[in-house]
């Protein structure tokens, strides 16, 4: 887990500017009840020490740039040619 300020620093270093929007989603696992909650069943989700940070900043072109800290990998996708890749990747 990284603090918010560290996330901002990484974003600035990688993309050369501030993110316009930042969101964080905490991790969780379901101990019991996967897909039963919408059938009036019981569920038992538990928080874990994982999270996802997402930062967004506008661009003048039609490209989406992504960077994964976990995979230390950069990806670029054109909005004009969105398609699901043939290989499994973090960006899919």
Give residue 76's Cα distance to chain centre: 15
Using CA atoms, how far residue 3 sits from 8, 53, 79, 89, in Å, is 9, 10, 31, 26
pLDDT of residue 32: 85
* pLDDT surpasses 80 at 87: no
pLDDT tens-place string over residues 41-60: 888 889 999 999 999 998 89
Position with higher pLDDT, 43 vs 1 = 43
Considering its fold, how many domains does the chain have in total? Answer: 1
Q: 92 in a domain, yes or no?
A: no
Q: 85 in a domain, yes or no?
A: no
Q: Hey, what are 26's tokens?
A: 């905490």
Max mean pLDDT range (31-35, 54-58, 68-72) = 54-58
Q: 89 in a domain, yes or no?
A: no
Q: 86 in a domain, yes or no?
A: no
| Residue 41, domain extent | 4-80
**Could you tell me the pTM of the whole model?**
0.67
């Amino acid at each position: 887990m990284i603090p918010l300020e560290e996330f901002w620093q990484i974003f600035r270093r990688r993309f050369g500017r501030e993110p316009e929007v930042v969101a964080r989603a905490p991790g969780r696992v379901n101990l019991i009840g996967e897909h039963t909650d919408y059938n009036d069943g019981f569920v038992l989700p538990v928080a874990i020490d994982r999270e996802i940070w997402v930062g967004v900043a506008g661009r003048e072109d039609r490209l989406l740039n992504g960077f994964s800290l976990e995979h230390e990998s950069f990806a670029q996708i054109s909005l004009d040619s969105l398609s699901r890749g043939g290989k499994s990747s973090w960006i899919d």
